[in-house]
Structure 1
Amino acid sequence: MFRIITAIAAVATVVACAQAPAAPKIDLPVSGGDGGTIDKLAADAVADVHAFWQETFPATFNGEFAPVKRLVSYDSTGASKEFCGTKTAGVPNAFYCPSDDSIAWDRGELLPMLSESFGEASVVAVLAHEIGHAVQLRLGERQGTPTIVREQQADCYTGAYFRWTTDGKSKSFKLDAGEGLNPILSTLFFIRDTVGSEFDAKGAHGSAFDRVTAFQFGFSEGPARCARIDIAEISQRSTQQKFSPRDLDTGLGKGNIRVDDPQLQEQLIRTLRAAFPRAQSTVTRARARCADAPLTTPVAYCPSTNVVSLNMQDLVKIGTPPRRGREGGIGDFAAFAEIASRYALSAQKTAGLPIEGPSAGQRTACLTGTWAATIVSGAGAALELSPGDLDEAVAEMLAPKSLIAADAKGVSTSSGFARVEAFRDGFLRDAETCVAKYR
């Protein structure tokens, strides 16, 4: 079993959402603001998201969109104030208040931290998410709608807004549709639910995998798709679950197994052979040589010998989750998924598919997702997914270089968005989808 608690992987600061000089001005005053850079960015973000909905809402939902009525800025590190029944001291947050149709943000800690860590696009994403809740109110959201539905819809609406932005329709921000989306996905990873909590728990927002999935639904299919998200759909696709008694603490965090355990590696190989029965590649810890491909690390695939070779020292680094005050990698599933990705190359070669180039990298990520779907809890596989595992895959694919989404030469698909989308296609669909879509 893969049983992991994983913290966010280090992500370099990327300012990926540049403000255009002709940004429209917000027509709402910001109560409690200090007039600083963060408040200006937040207000401009709200104005831009309003512009998106005023353009999109009538065509999608056959009605007019009314902007929110009030904006509030507060400093969570300063004197406590009250907003929407909440004391603001020590509450680094951004939220929508339906009772007076207003949005508030913390200029003291949360928004500066997000901007410094992920770039200003992350601040825009947080405000777009909160306005997504205002959209729900305007659509007549039913009382008692589960929190997870409301939050997944808001993530989805955020994705729809950013598609509008990357299509060049925003007059406030410019964003690249490739690597420019990486900071936003990293933000969703950062604010995911605690590993081991259930998707139907009170206040649940979703795992990183679930939140990114919802965002990508909106980005690819538009806001009408977002409105269709309901508890039945989430129940079917979500892998967010609580820890079980089988999730033992091996000293690496609850449920996290040792990736260098020979018995567990043999169980992993059994799952790979079941997922890719035609590949029959040899997996070895022995030092490898290859005449027709570079030896990637921590795992390499050699086409001429059909051998997957493991660098155990580097695999252990990746498979060791970060702990507070200690260095670490990502987690055991990230390490085993990298092995699966090289094994998937063998399956592609056997099928006569190209194993080099961008399409091969995406197809590899997709097939790795297909393998992951064969080891969900209850599938009867030799190993099973556990809480947080798919979030580890997201973290690996958002890193500067991803082996999960790399071709035989180790060249990764450039966009983290494209990597995660391909993996999700394989996980939620099947291998035929991988072959048909990524050619």
Structure 2
Amino acid sequence: MRARVHVLVKRALSVVLSLTLLATINFSAHITSAEAKTRKPTIAEINEAKKKEAEKKAAADKAKAQLNAASNQLKVLTAKAVAARNRYLQELKKLEIATKKAEIARKKEEAANKKSNAAQVAVVSSKNHIGKVAANAYIMGSGFTDFDSILHADGPQDLMDRLSTLDAVGENNSSILLRLKVAEESARLAKIEAEEARVEAVAARKEQADATARVAAAKKEADQARAAQEVEVKKLQQMQDKLIAELLSARKKRVTLEQQRQLAILEEALAARAEQTDVKAKVWPVNGIGFSKGRTTIRSTESIRTNAVAFAKKQVIARKPYVWGNEGPNSFDCSGLVYAAYRSAGLGYPEWDRVNSRIYYSWTKRIPLNELQPGDLLYYSYKADISTIHHITIYAGNGMMWEAHNTRKGLLYSSIYSIPGLIPFGGRV
């Protein structure tokens, strides 16, 4: 491979070779002299962050216990409110039954009143009839009695006729008086019965109204207690949410400090390693086969590229494994990490798909190594030919990259010169 590279170099124009070596040396100097840009938090800072995180966790746990107690009390009050409402509904049913009974009593009272009124009419009619009989007796002699009939009879037959008339009149009068008394008694009894029914219905309605009022009062009291408890629970919930938010913030700060320290240590080590690396021997010359191919425009924005870098960084820090052919979320290969990073960043062009590293090269805009920006793609090939591209990474800045390396090393944050065969152009998506 090295012999073929020398042959290609000899065939290149001397001016091109000079420019290439100059650009490479300049970029190499920029990279090898780079120091770790990430601030390295001290152990004391991390310990202080851990202490604050523990304090926030203890406060959140305490608030959680208070919230659980308040929630249990809320359940008790809710059960009481439900029981009170059930009693209220039962009393409503009783009221409905009492109302029906009162209606029956009212109808009975109405019927009795009609019967009494009819009896009174009969009494008046009977009295009028008796009055007429008495008036006739007066006209006939003001003394139409049994004795007068006997004295003034014209004979035995006339006497019998007079006595029969007196008997008929007496029987008729007795019948009228009897019917009157019966009607009056019936009316009196009906009125008594109706009055009793009315009194009973009134009492039932009053009793039910009182019970309804009591239940309504109990329900109101239970609802008020439940509302008060809900207010308390809401207050405690807000307190817990605040404490949890503070806990998460403290935890995030602690994790960030730890990650920054790890990253800074890694950057220092890789920067030191890069200073000892012969970068010229690891970069192909610019006149490699197909190196100039690519798009003339870009599809991403700075925001998309920044988000893609953040995604790749997160996967590397999480120490996710390398699995050939995978594009996440739990494992990746090299092009799978690139694809997943830009997909998560919102790149939605139809042509942007899960493809191999060589096709990615032709789908991106060529960027010289000394003009790389975070989010640009880097390519590695076995020969100075894009057809032999075998690896793709995401530029992180300061001569470093995020990559899915191999099954043994997994996902890495490494120097762009840690792998031989770097194509001298990056690709901007």
The structure that has the greater radius of gyration is 2
TM-score (norm 1): 0.20
TM-score (norm 2): 0.21
More helix per residue? 2
